[in-house]
Each structure stands twice: as C-alpha cells, then as structure tokens.
Structure 1
C-alpha cells in the first residue's frame, strides 16, 4: 500500500509544489515554489471550463448513461431467450474487450465528417454534421457509453442472478406489475451492487484520456478538454510538469470526493 499507492500520491503532491519542467533549466534544477502552481491554476480561465466538462463527461457517460443502460440491458437479457441474450451480450462486450486505443480510433472513424454515422444519416436525408467539431462532448460521451456499458451490464447480470426468484414470484402473486417489482423488489435488493458499480464506473471515467485525445485532442479549442487532457497538455505539450501535476492532484481530490460519497452509501444501514 505504501509503495504502490501512498508513495506515488505523496510524490505527485510534492511535484505539484515545484517548478519541474520537461525541458530547459528546470528539468534539472527543480525549485520548491509552494502553492504557486495552484494559484496559477485557479486563476486560469481554462480550469473551470475543464472541471465543468469533466463533470458533464462523468455524469453523462458514466453515472447516468452506463448505469441505466447497463441495468436495462441486464434486465432485457434476463428475460430474453438464450440466442438473443448471447447475441446482445457478444455485441456489447466486444466494445469493452477492444484495446482502448483501437476503440478510440473506431469512434473517431464513426463520428468524423465522412464517417459511418454521417453515411447512415445521409441514407435518411439528414445532411452531414462534423460531430467532432460541432458537438465534441456529445461524440466523446456516446463513445464512452459504447465503450464502457458492458462492464455495468455484466455486474448487474450477476446481481440479478442472485435475487431470490421466490421473492419476485411472491410480489407477482400479490399483484405487483413489472415496474413495481423492479422499483420495490429488484432495485432495493441490488442497491449495494448499484453503488459499487457507480463508484467503479465514475472513477474509471474520471481518468479517461486516450478516447478523448484520439477523437478530439481536447478541441476544438478547449471544448472537450477534460482534466486529464488539460494535465497532459500542460505537462507534456507545454513542458510544465509541476503545473500539470497540480492539475492531476486536483483530479485526484475530485476522485476522492466521489469515493467518499459512494463508500458512505455502501455502509450497512442501521436497524
């Protein structure tokens, strides 16, 4: 724990208090500058934009979309026949098992101006849209949903298999319809699984870099520059390692806040 988790966190925080650079004199002679990087960060107009885009990306493509879609697919596959269940499962899981860089290039090809999506829309008379330029956050959110929904679906499938069928049957005999059984029986019984899945999906989405960088590189301008993209640009494009590390540290704190919320939700309820 100390070597592989706590150590890197402490070293990263220390790096954010220095003027370390990728090139130049500060690449060799690093000076301690205290909180200057954080003062610069909170004065940077790009930072609040990146925070907002990160929240939109996490909420839109993980907390809401992947959770709802994953649970919906798991419920459908539970009721479907073996052939349909296997077909849907294979299609959804294929996107998940692809290497991230491959999934990113596939998404880029799909949403580009001459890509698959515009070819399909042209078939029904809708003019081509440059999705990656006009609606970059919509494109990356949909790509992340496509990429990550399988994870939620598989976890929910396992949780639904553990719901005692006699309880569901008893609710059905008592006259509870499908939506009422879902609301009052199924969801309460898999509540801890939902909270755990939300935590894992949120933290993994918070650190997504390759998908966005390949599709938009944070552009146009900064309209899809989430915190990981901003940290990369400052550290490696502009060679300011200390400033980029400060951004990464803020991202670490954001992830810690999400984790604390979810862990508190996972605590056993008192009688």
Structure 2
C-alpha cells in the first residue's frame, strides 16, 4: 500500500516533458532579452550604420547634409585616387610595425624574460615602473613626450651635457618620436601577457632540456617560444588593433605633421570627417582601417600556425 501510494505520488510530481522545456526556453529568452537589446543597440546597429554610411555622401554641411543619398563605391574610388590616403596607409603600416609588432612585442617579451624567476622585490619595482606608463592616459603621455622631445626639452638638455647641439626632434624625426612614445605607453601590456605565459611553461620540461645539454638560449628558442606561441599570436592581434586606433597620442604630439609625415589613417579619417565635414568619406576610411586589422590578425595566425 505504502509503495503504491509513493508511486502514485511520484507520478503526480513528474512534469510534462514538452511543457516544461517550452516554459524553460521562454524563461531563458526573457532573461537574455535585455542583453540582446543592448548588443543590438550599441554593437550591431552601429556596425550596420557604419557600413551603410561608407557608401553614402553623408556630410555635416552643404546640400548632402540635408539629403543623404547612396553613392556606391564613389568614396572608395576617390580614396584610392587621393595621394594623401596612400601616404596615410604607408605611415600607418610603418607606425604599426615599428611601435607594436617590433617595439612593444619584443621589448615586452624581453622584460618578461628578464623578470622571470627574479627576486620578488626586483619584479615589483620594474613592474611598477613599466605599468605606470601603461595606465597613464594618452593625452598625458603626449604632453610628457612633447616636453621630452620639444626644443630645449628634456632630451636636448640631457644631450647638451655631451655638447650635442639642440635638435627639433618633433620636426626632424616626427615618426621616430611618436613610435618611441607609443612603445613607452604600450609595452606593459605585452610584458604582462608574456609574464603569464612564461609562468605556465612547465619547469619539468625546461629542466629535462637542461639535463639533455640545451643552453639557456636553446631552451628559450626551442622549448619556451613554441609553448607560448598562442600567447604571442593573441598579444600581436591585440596590440595591432590597439595601435591601429591610436589617435590622441599622435594628434597631440604632431597633429599628423609636419606635412604628412605622421599622417596615419586615424588622423586622416578625423580630418576628412570632422575638419572637412565629409562623414561618409571618413567612414569609408574607417572600413579600410578595419580591413587592415583583420588581414594582420589572419597573417599572425597563419605565421604562428595557431588555431582559433
């Protein structure tokens, strides 16, 4: 009797499979709906509008500001016929390669290796100094390096001790100046990525390689680097995308000049969109910037043979 009653009660409590799953599904949708709405409003809609405006004559002034119309690939045709755009692409690639791919990447890895297995006090002191540059806002970094490279600034004052004549660094070597400033500002991120990656390398493997006769450099090249190639690819992609979007630092230091010598794509895009009021043209330039970032990311993954 008791067993029969328990079976009956258990049967009454058993939910209907179809209704329960449908009810749970609707509840999940309701919980996720606010997130989807936020993504749609602040992510997907701006992306779609960016693609649309790149193919229009959208402007802040003139007749096109009152009646925006679709013009197809005219913005892109004008862009590739503009010599300033071609200069901007070259300057962007130079700035990207020397300040991010070589500068931040190599220096960050070197600092991480030098700090690996060092005394905690040494790591903390160096880490604070390097990270201080990373957390400093770009506009502050720009003023720091303007004071450093300007006529009669810190660098000229230091070189005068060795009887070196003052040099107008921001005029004579503008691209070198902004590259050095960006390396100083962004190296800490690469250092932290590689510190975490080096900490995950099993010490047993390194010890086995040392027992087999591998020197420190051989262990680093043949054991450590292959094991952290995923971190290398990730870091290269992140600093590439960050460097492609650097605007405040360059604009505050040189304004894209003198002439077009530091005219990267973000500076050129800003001038076209907000100085010449051609928003459609400026949006088309932003798509080219996006394509450069995507191509660079796939090249990194291909070179390092990392799977997503």
TM-score of Structure 1 vs Structure 2, range by shorter chain:
over 0.9
3-state SS of 1:22 partner: coil
Correspondence 1:207 to 2:245? yes
Instruction: State how far apart, in whole Å, the 1-side matches of 2:263 and 2:128 are.
Output: 32
Highest CA radius of gyration, 1 or 2? 2
Correspondence 1:144 to 2:182? yes
CA displacement, residues 154-180 of structure 1 (integer Å, 9 cap, x when unaligned): 010011111111111111122111110
Correspondence 1:241 to 2:252? no
How far off is 1:133 after superposition? Answer: 0.9
State the match for 1:18 in structure 2: 56
Residues 6 and 259 (structure 1 numbering): CA distance in 2 closer, same or farther, change over 3 Å?
Answer: farther
Structure 1 unmatched runs, 5+: none
Matches within 5 A, 1:162-201: 162-201=200-239
How far off is 1:83 after superposition? Answer: 2.2
Instruction: State how far apart, in whole Å, the 2-side matches of 1:26 and 1:107 are.
Output: 41
Matches within 5 A, 1:69-218: 69-218=107-256
Instruction: State how far apart, in whole Å, the 2-side matches of 1:58 and 1:2 are.
Output: 31
Instruction: State how far apart, in whole Å, the 1-side matches of 2:189 and 2:154 are.
Output: 25
Instruction: State how far apart, in whole Å, the 2-side matches of 1:217 and 1:251 are.
Output: 19
Instruction: State how far apart, in whole Å, the 2-side matches of 1:120 and 1:176 are.
Output: 43
State the match for 1:61 in structure 2: 99
- TM-score, L = length of structure 2: 0.83
1:196–1:266 CA contact under 8 A, matched in 2: no
- TM-score, L = length of structure 1: 0.94
Residues 88 and 106 (structure 1 numbering): CA distance in 2 closer, same or farther, change over 3 Å?
Answer: same
Instruction: State how far apart, in whole Å, the 1-side matches of 2:70 and 2:113 are.
Output: 55
**What root-mean-square deviation, in Å, do the aligned CA atoms of Structure 1 and Structure 2 show?**
1.5
Correspondence 1:48 to 2:82? no
How far off is 1:13 after superposition? Answer: 1.7
Structure 2 unmatched runs, 5+: 1-38
